[in-house]
Chains A and B, each alone.
Chain A
Amino acid sequence: MWQYLLKRILNTIIVLFGAVTLTFFFMHFTEGDPATIIALDKYGGQLISPEAIDRLASEEGLNRSIFVQYTSWLKLICTGNFGHSLRSGVLVLDEIRLCFPYTFALALISVLITGIVATPLGIYSAAYQNRFLDHITRFTASFKVSIPNFYLAIIFIFIFSVKLKLLPSFGCDNPTHFILPVMVLAVSQTGFTIRIVRSTAVEILESEYVQFAFARGLSMNRILFVHVLKNIFIPVLTFLSLQFLMAIEGSIIIETIFAWPGIGKLFQEAVFGRDFTMIQALVLFFAAIVCAINLLVDMVYVFINRSISLIK
């Protein structure tokens, strides 16, 4: 176990190093002078001047050779300091610390709702194939999968905010602000998850041990919730962990539409403003989260099913 953990941690370090290096060089090989863009953003059209650009480049170290910048950046992150945002001047870690809880909450709630809704629906859909519930579930699942998030978001805002005036359309001031973005994320995730759960459940229901359980005269509920659910847990957990990561990383559009003060919105602003430090730190942060969650899921597998061995 410890050997496995050590191996995974070493892998994680290599992945993170690769992410940092690639992002750094990709960012710096894009066209355009970052100092000019940042100066325009910072000073506006009227105050920008050659002196302002040169001073900014010098102050932020943007006029140094790319390798000097790279080694300095590596040194900086090794000390746990990610520098400050080129745009706002605020420490990058402070910005991430401020925004991440919002994204995390959104992703966690939406994934929990997805799991709670999609698992029983998928199992029932598999157990009662070609019945009314199965048709409805499959139809809505396909429907949810085929509608893009941003479109769904606008439709929901139009119905619930403009027409019904029931829910706020943007921001995050009180719990009611969670409803629309969570609904949008959960709806699309539920569609995918139901399909996965259903297909896995169908496979399990056709397996010999389940057939044997039927032959023994066990009730349908007992078969579904004891035998099927236990074996369905691992693929569903894997899928939900991916959904969770997608909700964290892919929340840029949803956060932008709902003006959600999360990390996706921060990322979007950083990309448009060429905030190099922020982009690099966010990529590193995302990479770390992906590695951590993958490791965590692998650990959870063992606890769910003791027959799984992590080391071959």
Chain B
Amino acid sequence: MKKRLFFLILLFVCSIEFLSGCTEKDKKEDLYKELRIGTGWDATRPGDYQPYGMWEPAALIYETLVNLDKNCSTVPCLADKWEISDDSLNYTFYLHKGVKFHDKTDFNAHAVKTNFEKLGRINWLALKRVVDAVEIIDEYTVSFHLLRPSPLFLFYLAGSSYGIIAPSAIKEKKSQAPAMNASDTSMDKQDKKSYLVAKAMGTGPYKWDEQSYKRARSFGVVRNENYWRKDPVFEKIRWRVIPDPVTRTIALESGEIDMTGQSPNASLLEENIFTLKQNKKIKLKKANNWGARLVVINHTRPPFDNINVRRAIGYAIDYSNMSKIFSELAVICPGPLGPNTPFTNPDIKFSKYDPDKAKNILNNMGIIDTDGDGFREYKGETIKISILISKSKGMGLVLCEFLENIGFKADLRPKESGAIFKILENMNYDIAVHPNIPSFYLDLYGTFHSKGRWAIRLNDPETDKMLDQYIVCSDLKKFKELSFQIQKKIADKKIILFAINECKLAAYNKKLGEFIFPPEEWVGALQEVWRME
């Protein structure tokens, strides 16, 4: 019987090897006919094609007035040039002539004004706070009148949310009952007209392919044959929805998709990256983000309200070893901004790893171990630090080790990211790892001003004053200087332990050429894919 069993197993293995050999040859594919991208989920919303809802295809369907180049400088796109008034309250854009939307209607100043006025509650929400009105000067000249100077105005304008949509595609929205309630809300009654984007009509290199759309399964775009710049390289781009990163990795290896990992929706795990690195047919491209997730100490809670305790914690962490935990996926930086933004203060450095110095500081403050249990006491009670965290638990455990090394009892307090926002708002933590990149990336006001929504509550009138000047600064150079000063001020307070800058990492078929990441996520990860060579 054993012989029979052995024979059966042998037969099975041989047949697999035989079949494997038979199918070893790769199919000769026309790479540029269709680019197949693996993504984690279908973020599109049927019947409402606003750029923010579409995520990945948005940057290929819609174009913005300005773009950012690889050095993060604003460069022309739909606007050939622009002028800024002396008081920085008026931005006049000279639009490119002869550009047509996908429905063959003209792109002009009227389209820009319509977009701003009708989509102010959604796409243009962030700018609506600073833009008073949009004025048509002539058919191809449009002026934005600002309520106050906004040094980041052009940066925001480069974001894919501000892609210009064909006015014919913007339709009035019929009021919809709330998701879970049978009756109308007072909000709906108060509201004036609201609009939605009924069709995906932009000026971009690709057109939304309605026919290939299969809800939650796949979606795609086709080449815009009348594109105003050079011809897009791929005839079609098709996204396949594959939620599991392991399956995405396998699909890339088996040639069923050509690219994945290119956006947060399609991110890969460390083990997937390790696997793909071994595959000679796959290329990995990495880039840093602007935003970083902050790891903060609650400076309102004793004994961390004392800057020397926070300073001691800073000395207790070996940042170079901490970075190794993330391998390819993230880098540790001093924060609050990512290491590569145009406004990052390069003078802000980590504290030097010196646990003895940390211990000395604490000893000198009288925070010592009085009961011999190996942990320090403060006002007669053992100091227990809980680290509020939603992901990167490995990093959290290492942080606990560093804290215990200087005599603090530390443990993880894992919470779902949704819960962390509330806890952060109530300042109910010791150390917290922010679950999301602070949304404002370059705008320090929201996070560090005492009136900011996500305020860490520095409650420092001096910093508030600087932030008040910063938010209305009209000169970009001065803005940068102020940004540096504010970052220094924040760093001196030792509230931010460090920041986690998650990297972008695209994996793709080597034969496709060179994939270029845009300088920042918000302009759309795939903005440059149409001219991949």
Return chain A residues, CB-CB under 8 Å to B82.
Answer: none
Q: Separation in Å of the A109 CB from the closest CB of chain B? A: 19
B216, B253, B415, B417: the one within 8 Å of A162 (CB): B253
Chain B interface category by residue count: 35 or more
Known: A31-B422, A162-B250. A43 touches B4 (CB 8 A): no
Count A-side interface residues using an 8 Å CB cutoff.
74
Does A294 belong to the interface (CB within 8 Å)?
no
Find the residue from B121, B180, B441 having the highest chain A CB count within 10 A: B180
Is B180 within 8 A of A258, CB to CB?
no
Binds A, one of B42-50, B132-140, B347-355, B492-500: B42-50
**New contact pairs (18) apart from A45-B441, A171-B218, A277-B179, CB-CB < 8 Å:** A30-B418, A32-B420, A43-B52, A44-B55, A44-B522, A46-B439, A47-B439, A52-B125, A61-B181, A83-B180, A132-B1, A164-B19, A164-B23, A169-B250, A257-B244, A261-B216, A276-B179, A277-B180
Known: A42-B53, A85-B179, A277-B180. A161 touches B243 (CB 8 A): no
Does A12 belong to the interface (CB within 8 Å)?
no
Is A61 within 8 A of B421, CB to CB?
no
Contact with A along B204-238 (1 / 0, CB 8 A): 00000000001111100000000000000000000
Tell me the bound Cα distance from A257 to B249 in angstroms: 11
Residue of A nearest to B53 (CB): A42
Binds A, one of B183-191, B298-306, B366-374: B183-191
B215, B420, B453: the one within 8 Å of A50 (CB): B453
Q: Separation in Å of the B20 CB from the closest CB of chain A? A: 5
Q: Separation in Å of the B495 CB from the closest CB of chain A? A: 21
Is A154 within 8 A of B246, CB to CB?
yes
Residue of B nearest to A48 (CB): B439
Return chain A residues, CB-CB under 8 Å to B296.
Answer: none
Return chain A residues, CB-CB under 8 Å to B251.
Answer: 161, 169-170
Is B244 within 8 A of A69, CB to CB?
no
Is A44 within 8 A of B52, CB to CB?
yes
Return chain A residues, CB-CB under 8 Å to B179.
Answer: 60-61, 83-86, 276-277
Does A221 belong to the interface (CB within 8 Å)?
no
* Partner-A contacts on B (CB < 8 A): 1, 4-5, 16, 19-20, 23, 41, 45-48, 52-53, 55, 121-123, 125-126, 129, 159, 161, 176-183, 185-188, 214-218, 240-244, 246-247, 250-251, 253-256, 291, 415-422, 436-441, 453, 522
Binds B, one of A33-41, A188-196, A295-303: A33-41
Is A256 within 8 A of B16, CB to CB?
no
Tell me the bound Cα distance from A219 to B523 in angstroms: 77
Tell me the bound Cα distance from A293 to B496 in angstroms: 56
Tell me the bound Cα distance from A40 to B420 in angstroms: 13
Return chain A residues, CB-CB under 8 Å to B187.
Answer: 55, 58-59
Q: Give 9 pairs: A residue, B residue, CB < 8 Å, sorted on A.
A: A32-B418, A37-B421, A48-B439, A59-B185, A83-B177, A169-B254, A170-B247, A259-B243, A261-B216
A62, A162, A269: the one within 8 Å of B243 (CB): A269
Return chain A residues, CB-CB under 8 Å to B218.
Answer: 171
Return chain B residues, CB-CB under 8 Å to A266.
Answer: 216
Residue of B nearest to A161 (CB): B254
Residue of A nearest to B419 (CB): A31
Is A69 within 8 A of B180, CB to CB?
yes
Is A274 within 8 A of B291, CB to CB?
no
Does A23 belong to the interface (CB within 8 Å)?
no
B246, B256, B417, B422: the one within 8 Å of A161 (CB): B256
Does A238 belong to the interface (CB within 8 Å)?
no
Tell me the bound Cα distance from A5 to B416 in angstroms: 44
Is A72 within 8 A of B181, CB to CB?
yes
Return chain A residues, CB-CB under 8 Å to B129.
Answer: 49
Residue of A nearest to B17 (CB): A163
Is A259 within 8 A of B253, CB to CB?
no
Is A32 within 8 A of B439, CB to CB?
no
Find the residue from B23, B176, B185, B422 having the highest chain A CB count within 10 A: B185
Is A170 within 8 A of B240, CB to CB?
yes
Is B247 within 8 A of A257, CB to CB?
yes
Find the residue from A34, A98, A165 having the highest chain B CB count within 10 A: A165
Tell me the bound Cα distance from A244 to B414 in angstroms: 36
Contact with B along A119-130 (1 / 0, CB 8 A): 000000000000
Known: A32-B422, A46-B161, A72-B180. A259 touches B1 (CB 8 A): no
Tell me the bound Cα distance from A60 to B180 in angstroms: 7
Tell me the bound Cα distance from A162 to B250 in angstroms: 7
Known: A75-B182, A84-B176. A269 touches B45 (CB 8 A): no
Tell me the bound Cα distance from A265 to B522 in angstroms: 27
Does A208 belong to the interface (CB within 8 Å)?
no
Give the top 4 A-B pairs by smallest Cβ distance, nearest first: A32-B418, A31-B419, A61-B178, A61-B181
Return chain A residues, CB-CB under 8 Å to B46.
Answer: 88-90
Q: Separation in Å of the B279 CB from the closest CB of chain A? A: 10
Q: Separation in Å of the A225 CB from the closest CB of chain B? A: 27
B121, B176, B217: the one within 8 Å of A171 (CB): B217
Contact with B along A8-35 (1 / 0, CB 8 A): 0000000000000000000000111110
Return chain A residues, CB-CB under 8 Å to B415.
Answer: 31
Q: Separation in Å of the B145 CB from the closest CB of chain A? A: 21
Tell me the bound Cα distance from A66 to B216 in angstroms: 31
Return chain A residues, CB-CB under 8 Å to B122.
Answer: 47
Tell me the bound Cα distance from A259 to B417 in angstroms: 25
Residue of B nearest to A52 (CB): B125
Q: Separation in Å of the B266 CB from the closest CB of chain A? A: 12
Residue of B nearest to A68 (CB): B181
Return chain B residues, CB-CB under 8 Å to A158.
Answer: 250
A36, A135, A166, A170: the one within 8 Å of B256 (CB): A170
Return chain B residues, CB-CB under 8 Å to A88.
Answer: 45-46
Q: Separation in Å of the A155 CB from the closest CB of chain B? A: 11
Tell me the bound Cα distance from A95 to B453 in angstroms: 35
Is B247 within 8 A of A169, CB to CB?
yes
Tell me the bound Cα distance from A174 to B504 in angstroms: 33
A32, A79, A257, A258: the one within 8 Å of B421 (CB): A32
Tell me the bound Cα distance from A135 to B186 in angstroms: 71
Tell me the bound Cα distance from A172 to B240 in angstroms: 11
Known: A166-B19, A261-B214. A32 touches B256 (CB 8 A): no
Known: A169-B251, A259-B240. A47 touches B161 (CB 8 A): yes
Does A112 belong to the interface (CB within 8 Å)?
no
Does A290 belong to the interface (CB within 8 Å)?
no
Return chain A residues, CB-CB under 8 Å to B247.
Answer: 157, 169-170, 257-259
Return chain B residues, CB-CB under 8 Å to A277.
Answer: 179-180
Tell me the bound Cα distance from A161 to B246 in angstroms: 13
Return chain B residues, CB-CB under 8 Å to A49.
Answer: 125-126, 129, 453
Is B185 within 8 A of A31, CB to CB?
no
Tell me the bound Cα distance from A37 to B420 in angstroms: 10
Return chain A residues, CB-CB under 8 Å to B16.
Answer: 159, 163-164
Does A99 belong to the interface (CB within 8 Å)?
yes
Q: Separation in Å of the B293 CB from the closest CB of chain A? A: 11
Return chain B residues, CB-CB under 8 Å to A99.
Answer: 216
Find the residue from B4, B159, B182, B417 having the highest chain A CB count within 10 A: B182
Find the residue from B129, B254, B438 having the highest chain A CB count within 10 A: B254
Is B244 within 8 A of A166, CB to CB?
no
Return chain A residues, CB-CB under 8 Å to B215.
Answer: 90, 95, 98, 261
Is B246 within 8 A of A45, CB to CB?
no
Is A33 within 8 A of B20, CB to CB?
no
B183, B240, B436, B440: the one within 8 Å of A72 (CB): B183
Return chain B residues, CB-CB under 8 Å to A43.
Answer: 52, 125
